[in-house]
Amino acid sequence: MARRKRRKIHSVPLKEQIRRAPRLFTLYVLLRLSVILALVAQVFNRDWQNVALCGLTLFLFTVPSFIERNWHIDIPDTLEVIILLFIYAAEVLGEIRAFYVSVPGWDTALHTITGFLSAAVGFSLVDIINRNENTKLDLSPVYVAIGAFCFSMTIGVIWEFFEFSMDMLFGLDMQKDTVVREIHSVLLDPTRSNRTVNIVGITETAVNGVPLAINGYLDIGLIDTMKDLFVNLVGAFVFSIIGYFYVKGRGKGRFAKRFIPTLTKKKASEEENL
């Protein structure tokens, strides 16, 4: 009975959700409809991998509202809009529409946003714990910002581990290759004396005697991974600075509030009633 009562308290009627955030609801409906249409098209094309991606996208769209209803967390509308657009950009546009390949900088932009959003989530977690009267933490704004930054970088590293694992286990290409025209390697040193051999001005590469249709040498994922981690760092650093001033001014920054999830007021009132 207690569980049913708590769920009923925190469930918000659909009409109330539309009234509170009509633009967010409209965006959600449009994106969901677009994904459904894409799913139908992929079924007719018998592209089952893209069908699965569409199904995953529809599922991910429900995650923010699920978190709000069940974990007593209020996600700001601005953050939720960015999350929805990010999911659509990554899965539908990036994977199905091949923007990762056809649009320069698409992957880089998404990884930068990931660093920013992950820092916002990490900042929220650290700040909630820091402000909880039941904990003994009393972290300064600097330490809260550092915690958010480290959380974001950890998420970025774990994601790169995931990409590497998918590439190794299933033969995918999540860690995109890069064409380079220089090689610097000690493995090419015939004397085995740990000296770097430099090969510059590479214009063609052949594998098993067959020339590749690239103007240079193929780097297998390393440059892409390091670039992703670097832009993740940039996004995390930017939000950590914003979060620092937010904590220092104790929540007065309007801009930061748009991205920082907080505990709902109903959560506090429910704990008082128990």
In order of 52, 108, 187, 209, the CA distances from 85 in angstroms are 19, 16, 44, 45
| Whole-angstrom distance, CA of residue 85 vs CA of residue 25 | 13
With residue 233 as reference, give the H or E element that holds it: helix 222-248
Yes or no: say if 188 and 143 are a contact pair by the CB < 8 Å rule.
no
| Whole-angstrom distance, CA of residue 198 vs CA of residue 251 | 54
Model confidence over 164-194: pLDDT tens digits? 999 999 998 899 999 999 999 999 999 999 9
| Whole-angstrom distance, CA of residue 229 vs CA of residue 154 | 10
Last residue of a domain, one of 219, 235, 251: 219
Residues 138 and 256 grouped into a single domain:
yes
pTM of the model as a whole: 0.84
Across the chain, where does the E strand assignment appear?
Answer: 73-74, 178-180, 182-185, 197-200, 206-207, 210-211, 217-219, 262-263
Taking residue 91's Cβ as centre, other Cβ atoms within 10 Å add up to 21
Residues 90 and 73 grouped into a single domain:
yes
Last residue of a domain, one of 80, 103, 126: 103
Residues 82 and 123 grouped into a single domain:
no
| Whole-angstrom distance, CA of residue 223 vs CA of residue 127 | 34
Residues 185 and 64 grouped into a single domain:
no
Residues 12 and 68 grouped into a single domain:
yes
Residues 150 and 214 grouped into a single domain:
no
Residues 48 and 4 grouped into a single domain:
yes
pLDDT digits (tens), the chain, 274 positions: 444 444 433 455 556 667 777 889 999 999 999 999 999 999 999 999 999 999 999 999 999 988 888 888 889 999 999 999 999 999 999 999 999 999 999 999 999 999 999 999 999 888 888 777 676 677 888 999 999 999 999 999 999 999 999 999 999 889 999 999 999 999 999 999 999 999 999 999 999 999 999 999 999 899 999 999 999 999 999 999 999 998 888 767 778 888 988 887 655 455 444 4
Instruction: Report the length, in residues, of the chain.
Output: 274
Residues 196 and 66 grouped into a single domain:
no
Residues 85 and 25 grouped into a single domain:
yes
In order of 73, 262, 263, the CA distances from 76 in angstroms are 10, 8, 11
Residues 265 and 162 grouped into a single domain:
yes
Residues 154 and 247 grouped into a single domain:
yes
Residues 50 and 136 grouped into a single domain:
no
Counting residues of the chain whose pLDDT is more than 70, the rounded percentage is 88
Last residue of a domain, one of 103, 120, 155: 103
What residues make up the domain containing 60? 1-103
Yes or no: say if 203 and 215 are a contact pair by the CB < 8 Å rule.
yes
What is the number of domains present in the chain? 3
